[in-house]
Structure 1
Amino acid sequence: MSNLPSNVHVSQHPCLLAKLSQLRSQNTPARDVKTLIHDIALIVGCEALAKGLKTVPGSTDQTPLGFDYQTHQILPDTISLVPILRSGLGMVAAIQTLLPNPVPIHHLGLYREPTTLLPVEYYNNLPNHVSGSGSGGSNASSLAIILDPVIATGGTCAAAIQTLREWGTQRIIVISVLGAAAGVQAAAGEWPEAVEIWLAGVDEELTDRGMLKPGLGDVGDRLFLTIGK
C-alpha cells in the first residue's frame, strides 16, 4: 500500500476485512450489498467517531432503581451527516445508529463527467450555502460527516470538502468503504488541517474509466439495481 497522509486511517478490523471481501464479489446480491455497506459503515464509523468526538459531563439523572448517575454529552454540539448521492445513502442509517441524538442530513449530489472524470454538482441542500463566498454560514455545523462508499479519483470527495468549507463547517470526517491510493491522497490534501478520512480498505490502481481495481464496481448501481443503465 502506498504511503498515505497522516489524516487518512485504514481499518485493520478482521471482521471488516472479511465483509469487504464479501462486498467485492460479483455474486453478492443487492440485498446483501445493502447489508454489507451498512455493516462496514458501522464498523468504520465506530473507529472514526471514537477519535473524532469527545464527551463532557451533563446533568444528573436517575436509574430505574433511584440511584443518581452522571450523564455524558458528546461534542461538538452541532453535527451534520452529508451523504453523497446516490451511494452515500446506503451509509446513513449506520451512522445514525451510532450517534446518541438525531442530527441533520444534508444531501450533496455530485457525479463525474464521463470524459474528464471531473466532479459536477447537481444538488445541494446545505442551508444558506453560497458557493464561492468563502465567508461561511451561520447555520453551518461544527462537524460535517461525509458519507461516500468509494473514493476513486478523489475529485468528488475534494469537491464535497470544498463545498462544506465554503458553507462554514469547522471540521470534516469522511467515512468511506474503499478508496484508490492516489484519490485518497488527493482528497486528504484538500483541507488537511481540518479533514480526517476513514476507510475499510485502499486499492492501488484505477482503470481508464476511473474505477477502482479490483474495486467494488459501481456501488450505487449495485445498491439500487440499476446495473446496465
Structure 2
Amino acid sequence: MHIHHLSEQNSVLNTFLSEMRNIDIQKDSMRFRRNIERIGEILGYEMSKSFNFKVATIQTPLGDCVINEIDNNIVLCSILRAGVPLHNGLLNYFDTAENAFISAYRHHKHEPESFEIIVEYLACPSLENKTLILADPMLATGQSMLATFEALQPFGTPKEVHLACIIGAQEGVDFVENHFDKNTHLWIAAIDEKLNNKGYIIPGLGDAGDLAFGEKLQQ
C-alpha cells in the first residue's frame, strides 16, 4: 500500500487538525464540519497529483489554450454519517465525480469492547474500471473500511482504489495495509499512536459523527 501521511510536512492542514482536536474549539459543530470539509479539499488536491492527465485544447476569449486535465472516471464513496462533510470537501475538487453512499456502524453484541461492523444502506453506480475513493474521517480498527469495500464488490472492479481519512490509529493503518491490494493509496492527514480498549483512537478527537451532527441514542 502507498501511504501518504500529509501532516508529516508542515502546512495549514495542521491548523485545521488542531482545531478539530481542541476540546474547546470542537464544540462549535459548524466549525468542526467545515474543518472536515477543508481537510477533504486538501486530501483531494494531494490525491489529484497521482491521477492520470490528458492534453486538451480549450477556447478562451482571446485564443486557444492547451492544458492538462484529469483523465480519471472517479466514484466518490463516503461512509455515513461523519463522512458527509469529508465527501463534500472532496466533491468540491472532483465536482464531476459519480457518488456512492454507504452506512457502516459498530454493533456491540454483549461487551463494549467487542463489536461487529453492520452495513445496511448502500447506493452506488458501476465501479468497473473506475477510480474509487473511499472516504471516512476516522480510521480506527480499519474494519469499517474493509467491510465497505467488500460490500461494493458486486458493483464492479475499480481500476484503482484510494482511501481518504483524516485521523487514523497505527493499528488501523496496519490493518488496511494488510487487507487491501498493494497498489491501493491511503491519503491520511494524521496517524495517532494507538486505540483504547473500546477501539477509539488515542489521542484522536472523540466521536467525529457526534461532534459534526450531535449525539445519537445508542441501540
Task: State the TM bucket, normalised to the shorter chain.
Answer: 0.7 to 0.9
- The question of 1:190 aligning with 2:179 is answered yes
1:180-221 deviations in Å (ceiling 9; x for gaps): 001111012222334111111011111111111111111111
Amino acid at match of 1:19: F
1:66-113 deviations in Å (ceiling 9; x for gaps): x1122433122x2111010111111122111212x4221110110112
The 2-side partners of 1:48 and 1:89 are apart by: 19
Given that 2:75 and 2:127 are in contact with CA atoms closer than 8 Å, whether structure 1 keeps it comes out as no
Structure 2 match to 1:97: 92
Amino acid at match of 1:44: L
Structure 1 match to 2:33: 34
Structure 1 match to 2:76: 81
Structure 2 match to 1:43: 42
- The question of 1:19 aligning with 2:16 is answered yes
Task: Specify the SS of the correspondent of 2:185.
Answer: strand
Aligned partner of 2:4 among 6, 9, 23: 9
- Shift in Å at residue 139 of structure 1? 5.3
TM-score by length of 1: 0.84
The 2-side partners of 1:34 and 1:208 are apart by: 27
1:26-71 deviations in Å (ceiling 9; x for gaps): 21210110111111111122112212x121113x322112x11224
Amino acid at match of 2:101: H
Structure 2 match to 1:135: none
- Equivalent pairs counted in the alignment come to 209
Note the aligned Cα RMSD (angstroms): 1.9
Given that 1:44 and 1:175 are in contact with CA atoms closer than 8 Å, whether structure 2 keeps it comes out as yes
- The question of 1:63 aligning with 2:52 is answered no
The 2-side partners of 1:203 and 1:54 are apart by: 31
Structure 2 match to 1:205: 194
TM-score by length of 2: 0.87
Note the residue ranges of structure 2 that are not aligned, 5 or more in a row: none
Shift of the 165–171 alpha-carbon distance from structure 1 to 2, 3 Å rule, reads farther
The 1-side partners of 2:64 and 2:44 are apart by: 31
Between the two proteins, what is the percent identity of the paired residues?
Answer: 26
Structure 2 match to 1:172: 161
Amino acid at match of 1:199: I
Task: Specify the SS of the correspondent of 1:169.
Answer: coil
Task: Specify the SS of the correspondent of 1:105.
Answer: strand
Task: Specify the SS of the correspondent of 2:98.
Answer: coil
The 1-side partners of 2:171 and 2:42 are apart by: 24
Amino acid at match of 2:117: P
Aligned partner of 1:163 among 151, 161, 180: 151
